[in-house]
Amino acid sequence: MNKISSFLLSAILSFSTAMTGCSPEDNEKNNIADQEAKISDNAAVNISDNKINDGLVLIHGGTFQMGSPTDEPERDNDEVQHSVTVADFYMAETELTQKDYQTVIGTDPSENKGDKLPVTNITWYDAVKYCNELSKAKGLTPCYEISDNTVVWNRAADGYRLPTEAEWEYAARANTATPFNFGDYVYDENANCYNAYGYNNDASGQWINGYIEHTVDVKSYKPNSFGLYDMHGNAAEWVWDWYGEYANTSAKDPTGSQTGNYKIARGGGWNDFPKHIRSAYRSAFPADVPLYSIGMRIVRNASPIADEVKSIYTSVPEQKTGKTLIVYFSQTGNTDGLAKIIQEMSGVDIFRIERAKPYSATSNSLSLYAEALDEYREKAEPELKAYPEDKGIDISQYDTILLGYCNWWASIPAPIRTFLKRYDLSGKTIIPFCSMGGGRFGQTISAVAKLAPNSEIKEGLCVTYSSYDRNEIKKWLEKNKISK
């Protein structure tokens, strides 16, 4: 092979990595080995079968600027900076481990198993239930009264609870104002995330950092100055608040809205890009759907607050027609193949999203890579070749949307953004499906939730490239009650 051919092959493989979330096998093994070698040895975890080590540290409260400055690279519009004051509280130095979760609940839903690994694959409701059960085990007053989709938080209770979003960010920043509490950039030794392309880099397509592709033991990385580990990466962490816009004024011990459709998870996980593990980044996820990259961290009051706060899940999906529509975007054919199998097995209507002006290439290339990155950063909404109504499809007549896309830059492609911004999907059920190469859904579910805040998102299906497992697809459709 000549030098030019070798260079082109290398560029194509690098691009494929970026657009799908998967690296060439050899590079992947080398980078994983390099990154794992940099991770420090784990400290012994003081846990026994009859003793739960909560590992709480006192966080002295104060006033800080919550959100991100307008010049912070890769920031989102929902991070408007504002002054917030939080009182003293206690926070666990690590994410909740699988050993501690199983000791209290009796089960471990995590995919990647290990006593010292963070528990994941838990819903927000699982998290508040754990807090209550741990409080009872310790002889403390539970903080939460749980009744169906309503949770009442007694802020005077001395038991365990989830942090508020403000408490979490205050603790994560630890008196810093940079994107990460360790500085302006993420190196492999800083955090466990999908760091292959670094933070705020150009569209070179080069694999420059590592990606372990799973959770690692707590205390594998250095703590911040408050003594807290893994506030960035490894497992995202549920917080109390519903997702919504920040208040425009200063706030003291805010708890967010009492109603909502999507709960916030902070800190990002092992499969999230560096921009998604920043101190200010806000993820929005359905409270009743577990995810392989979301866990929790417990806190307690330092002093009681005579107050009561409610959390009411307001999403009530409408069932007007019982009709389901597949809407999808595919660039290189992987999502197209998946969408057609889903349509064949379900018998529902289908609509393919296409750009009015096609991308510069129909297959993986560095130019397509650059276009996708530019669109992501600009939050572009490109014109579509046709809209559903042009094909005689009335979106209002469908109760459920099966939304398909490729995972680009750990987020949705711009044409999907165009669709979500154009139509009112309030009251509808959205069920995502995704073709990817290693990053799974990334932050695509959160992106959909933010653009369709009054919808209800159910458990999605992601496949690697074109690895279509019909039995897996069948089970997914049945679980979501989609059938011919």
> Which segments of 379-460 does DSSP mark as H helices, in order?
414-422, 444-451
Q: What's the whole-number mean pLDDT along residues 319-341?
A: 95
- What is the enclosing helix (H) or strand (E) of 240? strand 236-242
47 has a pLDDT exceeding 50: no
Task: Provide the pLDDT for residue 52.
Answer: 56
pLDDT tens sequence across 159-195: 999 999 999 999 999 999 999 999 999 999 999 999 9
- Percent pLDDT > 70 in the chain is 89
31 has a pLDDT exceeding 90: no
State the architecture of 56-313 in CATH terms: Alpha-Beta Complex (3.90)
pLDDT tens sequence across 74-117: 999 999 999 999 999 999 999 999 999 999 999 999 999 999 99
Domain ranges for the chain, please list them. Answer: 56-313, 324-479
Q: What mean pLDDT, rounded, does the chain reach?
A: 89
> Do the Cβ atoms of 78 and 245 come closer than 8 Å?
yes
> Measuring CA to CA, how many Å separate 389 from each of 330, 396, 419?
20, 10, 12
pLDDT tens sequence across 186-222: 999 999 999 999 999 887 778 899 999 999 999 999 9
Strands across the sheet containing 150-154: 144-147, 150-154, 308-313, 259-260
DSSP annotation of 349: E
Cα separation, 240 vs 256, whole angstroms: 8
- Residue listed under structure tokens 């002093």: 303
What is the CATH superfamily name and number for domain 324-479?
Answer: Flavodoxin domain (3.40.50.360)
pLDDT tens sequence across 439-477: 999 999 999 999 999 999 999 999 999 999 999 999 999
Within 10 angstroms of residue 38's Cβ, the number of other Cβ atoms is: 13
pTM of the model as a whole = 0.90
Residue 22 pLDDT class (50, 70, 90 cuts): very low
28 has a pLDDT exceeding 60: no
pLDDT tens sequence across 370-394: 899 999 999 999 999 999 999 999 9
Beta pairing, strands 349-353 & 324-329: parallel
Q: In 3-state terms, what secondary structure has residue 297?
A: coil
pLDDT tens sequence across 290-327: 999 999 999 999 999 999 999 999 877 878 899 999 99
**Residue predicted with more confidence, 363 or 26:** 363
Task: Provide the pLDDT for residue 297.
Answer: 98
Task: Provide the pLDDT for residue 361.
Answer: 74
Residue 237 pLDDT class (50, 70, 90 cuts): very high
pLDDT tens sequence across 417-428: 999 999 999 999
